[in-house]
Structure 1
Amino acid sequence: MNLFGTRPSRPLLISLHFAAALVCATLAIAIGVWQYGELWKDRRAAESALRRQAESVQRAISGNLRSHRRLGAYFDQQIATFLDELVASQDVLGVSIFDDAGRQVIHAGETLPTMEHVGDAWSERGYLSRREIDVPPISPAGGGPFGSGRGFGRGRWGPAAVPAESVFADGGRFHCVILLDRTAFDAQATRFVRLRWGLIAAGALASVLLWGGWMLGMRVLTLSHRKRLAELRSRHWEELSRAAAGLAHETRNPLGSIRGWAQRIAEAETPPASVASQARLMMEECDRITARINQFLSFARPYDVQMQAVDLTTLCEELISLLDADAASRGLRLDARAETPWIVADPDLLRQALFNLLHNALRYSPNGGTIELRAFQESPHRKAIEVRDRGPGVPEQSRARLFTPYYTTSNGTGLGLAIVRRIADLHGGTAEYRPREGGGAVFRLVLPDSKIRPSATTTPNTRETAARSGGSQE
């Protein structure tokens, strides 16, 4: 319901809820995509750092191979010592140098495979890096700053600087493969994954909370509107009831006097025949006006709703028993079935509403037809009671005013369906009309489904309830 007291259409509410859910879902997906992209950025950054580390180690090895051969016969030993020191560090697990034919020349740490292509690759143990190193040959004159290649220092002027049996003496192309430990990288990647997935989960939770806040806000707003409308309606019915009671009091007294004098005239010993006939007509009109006043009072009076568990099977049986004779006189059959066993409602008011609907169905159904009374669970939160007939139905142009007071398509008072709608409103439900497939009408009472299970079922006297309705039909 909105601020003006009208009930928004169900498709509009569904559209609003769907739009809110779509916004929340889009927000959650956007956060997920954003954090997933950030996760890949973090991983690429960590891989880049590991790649730079591999490049640094490769440059160090390459520099040693190219620049320290002047150390003479101890060159191969010092290269091996340098590689052992690298492997002894925390990050390098193994180093292997292969010649151009694929033979392993120097090795330190874990045994490494010969990689087919220059570049980087991941293994179960770590990060593999393969680079080519071009080592120039040593000239006979030596490569030192003064042409001898021996340099300065003790032992540098002995025999040849690099012995002939050294694999590096003639230079050539070598391949260096290193294996870096990936433990730190994996730990960092795990932290990134946990962080990003945590943020994704937080975003999803925020979206769910946003959706829950929307639903709660709509619920609070709806309840606030319903409460305000209920207050306005209650005030309206109280004022209408007081006005109706005053009108009834002011009208019944003169009507009673008129009827009394008409009765005296009609019961006089020798009244003229025309006078007696007119007196009886006056009595009938007074009775008719009094009945209409009683009907209006029944519609306008305030109701004290007493909610309790109602046995629908028993209720249907009592209504059928009450109206069966009237139906049989018109060649009609009443068929009642309660698919849901009970409902929480005011028993008297519920009987009055169903009695009005069944009475209308009896008036409009063709002879030989069947009137069906059905009670069933329409949804997890709503129960419906339907009265179905094969009458002419209600023209489309009349349906909008069907449950308004004093609107009728026949010679009735036009209060019966208005009372049905008011009873439905008092229960927080609705009174509805639908055309029936194959011809006819379906009048429905749709009431909230209380989750309170019945401990006992009360079934007040149906005839007393029907009498209380005052015969108020459409």
Structure 2
Amino acid sequence: MCAVDFKTRTMRAYLAPLTAGLVLLALLLVWAANERHQAQMAAFEALREESFAVSAALEGSLQVGIRRGRFMQERFQALLDNVVTTAGIRFVSLQQPGAWSFAAGEPAEAIGGLAGEGQRLDENVFVYWRTLRLQEAGLGHGAGPGSGPGMGQGQGHGLRRGEVRWAEQTDGEAKGEQLLVVGLSTDRYRRALDQARRRVWILLGVGLLALLGTLGAWFATLRSRALTQRLQQAQARAAHLEEQSLAAAGLAHETRNPLNVVRGLAQRLAEDRSLPAATRERAEAIVEEADRATARLSDFLAYARSRPPKLENVDAGALVRRVVDLFRPDCEAAGVRLDVQAEPLRLRVDPEQFQQVLLNVLLNAQAATPAGRSIAVRLARGDAGAMLEVRDEGRGIPEEIRAHLFRPYVSGRAGGHGLGLAIVKRIADAHGWRIDVESRPGAGTRVVFGGLAAEEGSAS
């Protein structure tokens, strides 16, 4: 329940910065889109202002020339030709519908049907047009019929550079509204958009990096805080378990004293020949049960009062042979053969704990091995240090037991109390050893301790 609450609190703690990050990311994207739109509008407005300035300059020049009476056809066309030489101006057209038309620059097929004032952005050209009212718009010296390079009604469609169309006009037609059309290149517009786009992407990238950095720092802080809380909880649990372990060890120790008194009294009764045989048998049964209880209490105390290993450089081969020699009579009594193969290796181990590990594994192997079978013990140098191996020809370990083999009070045999291998695991972990267990029901078990630190040379 506490673990679930901790995970829930942790998820809630992470949810707040994640939500804030998503909101900031959305705002950043909205800002980027708005910046791009503003840049597009600014570039468009710059084109419009430039085209208006060109049209205003042309209108002023035309008005001045007309007032002074010096605007002939050639001067008018030369003025337009001069305008289109300016960088960025694609074409210029001036026409009085039904009267005359002038155009200079690139083909301007797309300027027909325009009226009033307006602008249009095409793929490669920005078109701006507006209506003028020039004073005395009839142009002198051949402003009448047949004077120009071509005849017909000039409508301002498909005009080419230097092309002039004249139409027969009356005095009423010579005075009216003229349509001025200016076409600008969109190269600068698109360059401005590209620059704005790059600027927005750079700022967006910097903003995203800053946002990710902030969120990363926030998450790191939350993770550090969560790990600190877990560490504190683990320390509190460890302290509580240590207190319980000490209390249980104290209880076991106090229990063993009266148990020894009971065993002593039962032993005296069992040896008293004046008592009936049935009474002596019951007393012997009490002695046996007291011995078993004492052994369990001793194992429990060894597990509960685990101490750090006191490492020494020892002759591990001699220790292995000593344990095997002490254990051999029990195996012979059970009809089990015990073989040993121990190289003279010096290991840095706790001698007492090393012997306890081997003895506990041998006890389990002997209990699982039927008469007529064998147990083999081997100490040898391996690829990564020394290795200690115990192999038996017993009944094997059931699959459901193997997964929890080294947990306290897990035993696969009748009469086992499940602390022997738990003690083995604790000692192996304290030494930094690796434990590998191979077992198949009916085919025996192989227990290997690897990673034992060995020195070069033989034992002295």
- The interval holding the TM-score normalised by the smaller chain is 0.5 to 0.7
Question: Equivalents in 2 of 1:27, 1:185: separation in Å?
Answer: 31
2:46 pairs with 1:49: yes
When the two chains are superposed, the root-mean-square deviation of aligned CA atoms in Å is 4.8
Residue 20 of structure 1 aligns with an amino acid whose one-letter code is P
Q: CA deviation at 1:51?
A: 0.8
Question: Equivalents in 1 of 2:369, 2:180: separation in Å?
Answer: 103
Paired position in structure 1 for 2:131: 132
- Contact kept in structure 2, 1:96 and 1:107, CA below 8 Å: yes
Paired position in structure 1 for 2:386: none
Q: 1:138 to 1:183 in 2, by over 3 A?
A: closer
Paired position in structure 2 for 1:330: none
Q: CA deviation at 1:53?
A: 1.7
- Contact kept in structure 2, 1:133 and 1:176, CA below 8 Å: yes
- Contact kept in structure 1, 2:66 and 2:135, CA below 8 Å: no
Residue 126 of structure 1 aligns with an amino acid whose one-letter code is V
Q: 1:217 aligns with which of 194, 203, 221?
A: 221
Q: Secondary structure at the match of 1:131?
A: strand
Q: 1:92 aligns with which of 89, 97, 100?
A: 89
Q: CA deviation at 1:195?
A: 1.0
Q: 1:46 to 1:138 in 2, by over 3 A?
A: closer
Residue 106 of structure 1 aligns with an amino acid whose one-letter code is F
Q: 1:260 aligns with which of 250, 257, 264?
A: 264
| Per-residue deviation, residues 315-343 of structure 1 (Å, max 9, x unmatched) | xxxx9xx9999xxxxxxx966699xxxxx
Q: 1:8 to 1:304 in 2, by over 3 A?
A: farther
- Bigger shift: residues 284-293 or 67-76: 284-293
Question: Structure 1: which 4+ aligned runs deviate by more than 6 Å?
Answer: 303-306, 322-325, 461-465
Superposition map of 1:47-446 within 5 A: 47-72=44-69, 74-101=71-98, 105-115=101-111, 116-118=113-115, 119-135=118-134, 137=136, 164-165=143-144, 170-272=174-276, 276=280, 279=283, 283=287, 286=290, 290=294, 293-294=297-298, 296-297=300-301, 300-302=304-306, 351-353=405-407, 356=410
| Per-residue deviation, residues 126-182 of structure 1 (Å, max 9, x unmatched) | 31112233446569xxxxxxxxxxxxxxxxxxxx96654285971333322211132
Q: CA deviation at 1:247?
A: 4.4
Unaligned runs of at least 5 residues, structure 2: 148-165, 310-348, 350-363, 371-396, 440-444, 448-460
Q: CA deviation at 1:280?
A: 5.5
> How many residues are treated as equivalent by the alignment?
327
- Contact kept in structure 2, 1:324 and 1:334, CA below 8 Å: no
- Contact kept in structure 2, 1:93 and 1:110, CA below 8 Å: yes
Q: 1:225 to 1:70 in 2, by over 3 A?
A: closer
Question: Equivalents in 1 of 2:124, 2:300: separation in Å?
Answer: 92
Residue 209 of structure 1 aligns with an amino acid whose one-letter code is G
Residue 108 of structure 1 aligns with an amino acid whose one-letter code is A
Q: 1:324 to 1:85 in 2, by over 3 A?
A: farther
Q: CA deviation at 1:228?
A: 3.2
Question: Equivalents in 2 of 1:271, 1:461: separation in Å?
Answer: 52
Unaligned runs of at least 5 residues, structure 1: 140-159, 307-318, 326-332, 339-348, 364-412, 428-455, 466-474
- Contact kept in structure 1, 2:125 and 2:184, CA below 8 Å: yes
Question: Equivalents in 1 of 2:28, 2:180: separation in Å?
Answer: 44
Question: Equivalents in 1 of 2:187, 2:270: separation in Å?
Answer: 116
Residue 183 of structure 1 aligns with an amino acid whose one-letter code is D
Q: What TM-score do the two structures reach when normalised by structure 2? A: 0.56
Q: CA deviation at 1:265?
A: 0.5
Q: What TM-score do the two structures reach when normalised by structure 1? A: 0.55
Q: 1:78 to 1:285 in 2, by over 3 A?
A: same
Paired position in structure 2 for 1:145: none
Question: Equivalents in 2 of 1:80, 1:265: separation in Å?
Answer: 143
Question: Equivalents in 1 of 2:308, 2:79: separation in Å?
Answer: 99
Q: 1:73 to 1:460 in 2, by over 3 A?
A: closer
Residue 184 of structure 2 aligns with an amino acid whose one-letter code is L
- Contact kept in structure 2, 1:130 and 1:177, CA below 8 Å: yes
